[in-house]
Structure 1
Amino acid sequence: MTRSAQLLDAIVPLIADLAQELPAELRYQRLLDAVRSLLPCDAVALLQLDGDALVPLAVQGLSPDTLGRRFAVAEQPRLKALLEAPRAMRFAPGCELPDPYDGLVESEEGTLEVHDCMGSALRVQDHTWGVLTLDALQAGRFSPADLRVLDAFGSLAAATVAAGSRLHQLAQGIEDERERAEAFRLAASPARHTLVGQSPVFRQMRAEIELVAPSDLTVLVTGETGVGKELTARELHQLSSRAGKPLVSVNCAALPENLVESELFGHVRGAFSGALAERPGRFEVANGGTLFLDEIGELPLVAQAKLLRVLQDGQLQRIGSDREHRVDVRLVAATNRDLADEVRAGRFRADLYHRLSVYPLRVPPLRERGRDVLLLAGAFLEENRRRVGARSLRLSADAQAALLAHPWPGNVRELEYLIARAALKAAGRSDPASNRGTARPRIVTLDLHDLGLEDARAAAASAAGEQPAAQADTAAAPATLREAIDAYQKRLIAQALAAHDGNVAAAARALGLDRANLARLMKRLGCSDTGGGARHSVP
């Protein structure tokens, strides 16, 4: 086969690859395969210029650890000569310049002393991108004709690496724009869930949100798991002057420790293994808007120090860069931990804690919100009505009582999932396939069994008495769940009145009820005189 035919066979697949979206590693390995098929050699390497060093991106015939090295151009005269040469060049076998691959060529003979080598600089748009090097164990392996072939092949090699770099940049740019567009969408679109409630503690929280949202103060949202901290952060953003800007959410607990800084602050190309292109961090994506850092207590101490600097002066540095980037971001952080305890334990920086808690905002647990549980249940029922195809979903009286009696350790999230399961069960009971072809009812009622809260009845009955249910006199125990709930409510009202010296208004506030509603409930339950003579005056 003639040399022209060999060249053609080598370049046709590479030309076809230019139109393909391939992983960079595979594209570069195919390039090296083509080089070796055209110019048989013992080792070949593709190196990219990164600052004042050449970084190997793909090698064949060299030891695997070569990929982890950085060859300083000033210390490698052969590589420096290749970068400066206008065309491909060959080093004579007797050249006294040290070879960067001495001892790295895979060979049974061990350290290489005499060999033949040549290479070519790769230039993309008048900029030197890197070099392609070829090494042979046998002196005189390469001929002047081989040098001409390499010189001709260099242009195609440069086009290959340029295509790979460009496609990677485009893909990275698309991903960055997608993240930014998603942040804008989240900021602009209505939330699937909204803050719902009427209890005093909820109203107090809502008033605090409306007070602090228009400001640029950093807010630390605290509360148990599942109370709605992310929803609170969204509300803070929607009510702020930044509502039309991005809202970027980051779950700090889900970030691998070695990538936390890169995700938050970004990185430059070559900053670490795998950093093939420059990438902005979440702070830059959120520029002009709000950055929500959920589970802030999970951040490593090193990242905490850098976060503190950004909060103090609004400047950050991408990993591997000395250049400052200024960002304008309103920070909202959230945690279910007691950060003061974390500070005392040495797991959280005290200065960052004080910087984050400029305005602390506590989201109350569901068990403190009284009848808000029924309002939330109504919202979730409506959401699930569409899913199960029912005209209406409703709660039975026993189901409502059970929801009110449940302690909700998982808070609003637990309620959401419980309603979803119960709706599916209730709809399944009405499914035509299980009812011999009868039509599904237009109104589906969720009962106590659907909720799976039968234990709530035992808990309520136990709370209403002085002794465990198993030891109680069965004749004196409440016969129905309604009776158990009534007894439990009477006991709570009596305790509240006793704690507030019989003042109904104060007791109502403690129970999360309106005073008039409490008075009517006391009348219905027959406990108007409970607590040693109830007083109805407002304190």
Structure 2
Amino acid sequence: MTANALLLNALLPLVAELSSQLPETERYRRLLAALRTVLPADAAALLRCERGADGSDWLRPLAIDGLSPDTLGRRFRLREHPRFAALLAAGQALRFPSDSPLPDPYDGLVAHHSGAPLPVHDCMGCVLQVDGQPWGLLTLDALQPGSFAGDAPLAALQAFSNLAAATVATAARLRQLEQSVHNERQRAEHFRRHAPLAAPRLLGHSSAMRALQRDIATVAASDLAVLITGETGVGKELVAQALHAQSTRADQAFVSINCAALPDQLVESELFGHVRGAFTGAVSDRQGKFEQAHQGTLFLDEVGELPLATQAKLLRVLQSGQIQRLGLDRERTVDVRIIAATNQDLAAAVRDGRMRADFYHRLSVYPLQVPPLRAREGDVLVLAGYFLERTRSQFGLDGVRLEAAAQAALLAHRWPGNVRELEHCIRRAVLHALRRPRPPTAPLGIHAQDLALVPSSKASTHPGDPAEDPGSLPPADPAASAVADPTDTGLRQAVARYERQLVQQALEAHGYRWAPAARALQLDRANLQRLAKRLGLHAPGSPPPLR
């Protein structure tokens, strides 16, 4: 079959699908699969240009074929990748020489390649123009030098890029038609323009995350109070930020307050403000959090930690928007959207008398449950890729590669600390990998042992198991049981070692936050802080005392 016939056979099905109701991800996947039938590439990718909040340009992979799955979670800063910059500047199909000195962003990311990365390989790409503007890039990589020799591959890629531009334009049109009202389209566009790409995002393609994103889109346009629940480390604050960013209040303030850190004697001042002379130390007028969030959003994090007296003081403002500064007789009206978050079972707290029922029902008008990472099938590698790329950029590395065994270890782990645990794991693994010698031009390979994960046979698999319920306080494994054996070291030392183990387990399980760890251990929070200080326990990478 001639090259022209091969190209025609690949293009015709794609043209026929332009008017079909296909999901964007599937449309893009078929596009890349067809491209690889025409050109002898080992990997292909479709990337979109985006502008960060700091004004820098980024490229975000929308679809890949032949690359490691974690590539979808990466974000490529344009000024750090000269090959991408050269492709965008060329404005048409461009092939790099096999001996080009420019680093390739995909070195070490081509799937099914277990050996050392090749020092050179063929790569070419083409910018996609949509409505006369650069929309993104199509890239092709081959591990065999000379794979793209001659003019025919460049011509085929240029022809393909025109169809790709039509494909992404069609997908955009269909997406717009699915939106029900004009103001929803404006809010989505506002969020796309203003969301900082360098900040953590709600990444993931699992069915659980898609359902959460649909719920966010449903309730964001309203002013209903939202209660976000979920385990420690799942990203509840990110969900709150997404709700605010997709709401009509997106251009107003997003004010966050940690309810667990509110001092009892200053809680009214923190929430409602005060005037000069209202109490000892009030040397000037001060706005409270509700006034700061006027016409915007107030995020009450760890709302389950609020004492009953504070809950009673909040009831009126939640119902009518009326607040009164300390020391001032006159009331003020604020327009604030309330979003609260907790990792507690607030319904159980109501039954136990730790939370007022009327306060709970005013908060939980629209509950949102954030799924744990173990319930988000396939998202672990996407998130790992995102954290790897951020760490690579921060450390100034040329490339970071997640080896196959490391990917398997990430997928097998239960992640009791969820996304926060994964982020810390990836950063730690990069530091471990940097200790190994490697060729100067080779990407940094992340091996399974760099992750230092507990084997799945020792990890908890169900809520309420010891790894997720430190309140039950059994030892983690047989080796830990021996810690408390008084026949080895004497009773006093054995008790001290076992005490340290239990406190460490509780702190780790609750993200090194005092209040929930103290509840799990059935201790007073201040007593737990003093005990941890005596034991020398503190969060990894942070000096004592704990926050």
When normalised by structure 2's length, the TM-score is: 0.47
When normalised by structure 1's length, the TM-score is: 0.48
Q: Which has the higher contact order (CA 8 A, sep 6+)?
A: 2
Largest Rg, 1 or 2: 1
